[in-house]
Amino acid sequence: MTTSKRWIGWWLMVVMIAPAIARSESASEQLAAAKAQVQSGAYDQAEVALKLLLAGESKVAASIALGRCYLETGRYEAAKTALESVKDESRSNVDWHIWSARLAETLGDYEGAIESARHAMGIDRNSCVARLLLAQNLEIVGKSQEALQEYEWFDRLVKHRLPIDPDNLVAAGTGFYRYSVLTQNSNLVQRTRHVLQKMYQKAYQMLDPKYWPAHLAVADLLAEKFSLDEAADDYRAVLNINTNAVAAHVGLGWIARDQWRFEDVDRHAKDALDINTNSVDALVLLSASRMLERRYTLADGFAQRALAINPNSIDALAYATSAKLALFDEAAADVYVKRADAINPNSGRFHEIVAQTLSDRRQYPQSEVAFLKAIEYEPSSAMARAELGMLYMQWGDEEKARVHLDAAWEIDAFNARTKYSLDLLDKLVAYARLETEHFDVRCEKGLDEVIAASSAKYLESIYDEICKRFDLTLDRRTIVEIFPAHDDFGVRVTGQPWINTGGACTGWVIGVIAPRFGMGKAPFHLPSVLRHEFVHTVTLAATNNRIPHWMTEGLAVLHEDEPRSFGWKEDLAERIRNDDLAPLNEVDWGFMRPKRPNDRAMAYAQSEWMCEFLMDRFGDGVINAMLRDSREGMSQTGLFAKHAKMTPEEFDDAFRAWAIEQATPWGFDLTPPEDVETLKALALETPDDASVLARLAMACMEAGDLDEATTHANASLAIDAKDNALAHEVLMRVYANKLHHAEDAEQSKEWQQTVIDHAREVLIADPKHRKARMVIAKYHLAEKKDDAALPHLLDLMELYPVDPMVPYELARIYTSMGDDERALPMWKACRQEFSNNREIPAAIAAIHRRAGRLAEACDWYERALQIDPLSPGIGEAYANVLMQMGRTDDAIARYQLLCRIDPEEARFQTACALALFKAGKESEAINYAKRAVALDPKSDAKSLLD
């Protein structure tokens, strides 16, 4: 709230409230009501009421409460003034010293906070709140033994009696828990539960239902344990009582950061800063979020803002250090290290934050050193040990990971993230391992070993090619782990059971999901994923993990050796048309915080395109040259200045011009959308011009205003209903959009007919209109009228052969007609666009088989099996072709795999028995024959038993 608005509000409330107070309440009642307002977060109302009490007998208590009010809203000088105004009268007032300590701590005057807390304890030795403040500030400045002595007091207290007021009960719980952590108490789990259930929960369940600090304490403790959903519930419980509790907004922001929901981080931080514009905690949250987003300059900016308020904030100093290191300014980072050391030369917290940010940047050796230092300075930190363990997992050293994760669990068996990782390590120990010259491929024992074997073979086949491309020889094997489930994959990559991708690379470790259909698993072409991830391994190794994120992604996509998809071309063209290509310095944001559904996909697509542009403009060698300088810590701006002789802004302009040249042959309309306001003005000048109204309708539709678009399109048609393709196109597209929101079948049918009617009108005016013809073709296909769709599809093949949906539908129709000759080229035309569809290579294989081209059939079945290695149907067809080719041993191996995939299918047992018999392996054949007959007494394998 601005100062002027605050004062206007203050005078209004004075006018309204003062008479009522004077009429009905004593000073003590007025004070109690005002303090309740402070506690509930009604700071503006409380400020008014408290100022009215400053001249009376409640001056001291009112000043202290007013100081708290200012402290909570970030008006620290005003808080100091309010408290100083009653300093002489408050020498024996515990609350005055407590709030003076909190103010000093907020501003980084930790020694002042210690002194004030000691004064408070001198007045009341049993004040849990004062003692907790003292212990916490002693810890901050590195006086660990003194802090431990104070925390020990809580241990003795809890064993004998508990405070009966919520403030001291929650403080006692926090002090007791911290003592248990610092002493590595063997009963930490039970003590944690005791604090949660018998102290924090008791405070709000039995003592005061509106005591939100108890909910906050629960939330903070659960968040520390990575019980994030439960923590979020308690943060929201805080806000249900006090919507202006800054700490709860910040807590929700940290949860969002841990889940990579960066838009939500910003929203929660804004909520906090709207209440307290000087919240160091909110600014530190934003700095931490920007570090994870790889927006290091912004991270530094937020850290600097925090340090301007509290120059001694350990967290802010750690993130300032981290940002400077990420920007390769080690001299500046060292300044912040020295500042932190001046406060506490043994701060485990400082080094843990720096270590985590280094780990996030995959700077594993430096991160390891920092984590070990954090553990040295704070041996009781389970979090530092757990994070170091997860670093080793990402680094590929699971033995060291186990050591540190076990140590973390020994200290704190309440941490969900540690448990996830240990559970995964237990599974990984039992994984099958296949070591080749350059790879260590691991998977769950059983059928996935088939996938592992084919993966290892494929990876070895591309190893030399990829390493040569980037002029690098790797000095260790790459670990490839194939997971049966997304949960385990997510823990492997992030430490938490969620990640929305099929493959990931942390450097020397590649993780992928087993490409099996069913059970919620999505299909994908495993070789492409493995190739993509191995390019990451090589480019990360080439740069010591310092390559710009967009570049490693772009190079990985580029080397998948798949043509650019139609969908990506269409979306890239639309980005060009709307002048919406991401600037060089912002392209990473599409990976980290996509705002639109296709932003992430477009980040991959544009990154690949930018790599192509660099090679096209400056030669293939520019990539490796940039990688070498990245390894030495050159910034992105430096890379482009040296190798492209361009600033980032100049690169953006040059890339856009090149992109337009590249996209023009694709056939999309690259004409920028027209401005709505300009066309409205033109329509007013020429109200009878149907073409202007049609253009206005199109502009409104593209701006997202469908109602306005409909109005103007109908107005255009009222003037000229013939040869008005644009107006009909607008209405066709508007009603096509409405179809997604139809409320019932009747409305859907009506709108569908409207779409078709306008599409037909468009084709009358413009027979070569691709979108209208596609609409009609899709309509007939949806109605199962292939005969009606066929002429439109054939026209589309002539008009616009690059759209893969057209050859796909033609291939399907021709196949259903038994016309293999015409189906085959159509299947091949759409195969690369639908590279994750196993049915397309299988259909091509079947055509070759029917034509007697067995070698070609064999090749295409193998391609289908790359997408679904365990498909019974495709595997059987493949094995049958192998038998026809006389490759009996290969066929037997496939039949045996089919018997493992589905041991209850008699057909597989029969085929295997007959193949074995043909190969002269009679004893094995008999065993399979017996199983076949047991499953199907009529099995052809029965003859082998007779």
- pLDDT single digits (tens) 11-25: 444 444 444 444 446
Specify the pLDDT at position 303: 98
pLDDT tens-digit readout, 294-329: 999 999 999 999 999 999 999 999 999 999 999 999
Taking residues 914-930, report their average pLDDT: 96
- Residue 184, token pair as written in the block: 């590595």
Specify the pLDDT at position 743: 84
Residue type, 361: R
Q: How confident is the model at residue 136 (pLDDT cuts 50, 70, 90)?
A: very high
Specify the pLDDT at position 23: 42
Q: How confident is the model at residue 597 (pLDDT cuts 50, 70, 90)?
A: confident
Burial of 326 (0-12, 13-18, 19+ CB in 10 A): buried
Name every residue whose Cβ is closer than 8 Å to that of residue 199 and which is 6 or more positions away in sequence.
158, 162, 169, 170, 172, 173, 176
Q: How confident is the model at residue 113 (pLDDT cuts 50, 70, 90)?
A: very high
- Residue 741, H or E segment: none
Taking residues 3-9, report their average pLDDT: 45
Q: In Å, how far are 69, 175, 269, 521 from 3, measured between CA atoms?
A: 15, 38, 21, 56
Q: How confident is the model at residue 521 (pLDDT cuts 50, 70, 90)?
A: low
Query: Going by DSSP bridges, is the β-strand pair 432-435/439-443 parallel, antiparallel, or unpaired?
Result: antiparallel
Specify the pLDDT at position 553: 97
pLDDT tens-digit readout, 22-46: 444 688 999 999 999 999 999 999 9
Taking residues 567-580, report their average pLDDT: 95
133-172 CB burial, b ≥16 within 10 A, e <16: bbbbbbbbbbbbeebbebbbbbbebbeeebbeebbbbbbb
Assign 250 to helix, strand or coil. Answer: helix
Specify the pLDDT at position 9: 47
Specify the pLDDT at position 502: 64
Q: Is the pLDDT of residue 516 over 80?
A: no
Q: Is the pLDDT of residue 524 over 90?
A: no
| Distance of alpha carbon 372 from alpha carbon 521, whole angstroms | 39
Phi, psi of 295 (to 5 degrees): -105, 75
Q: How confident is the model at residue 460 (pLDDT cuts 50, 70, 90)?
A: very high
pLDDT tens-digit readout, 859-890: 999 999 999 999 999 999 999 999 999 999 99
Task: Map out the domains of the chain with their CATH numbers.
Answer: 210-277 (1.25.40.10), 430-522 (3.40.30.160), 549-661 (no CATH), 676-808 (1.25.40.10), 825-945 (1.25.40.10)
Q: How confident is the model at residue 364 (pLDDT cuts 50, 70, 90)?
A: very high
Average pLDDT of the chain to the nearest whole number: 93
Contact 64, 83 (CB under 8 A): yes
Specify the pLDDT at position 492: 82
Specify the pLDDT at position 522: 58
- Residue 219, token pair as written in the block: 């939330």
Using alpha carbons only, give the angle 789, 795, 797 rounded to the nearest 5 degrees.
100
- Residue 248, token pair as written in the block: 């709860």
What percentage of residues in the chain have a pLDDT greater than 90?
87
Q: How confident is the model at residue 703 (pLDDT cuts 50, 70, 90)?
A: very high
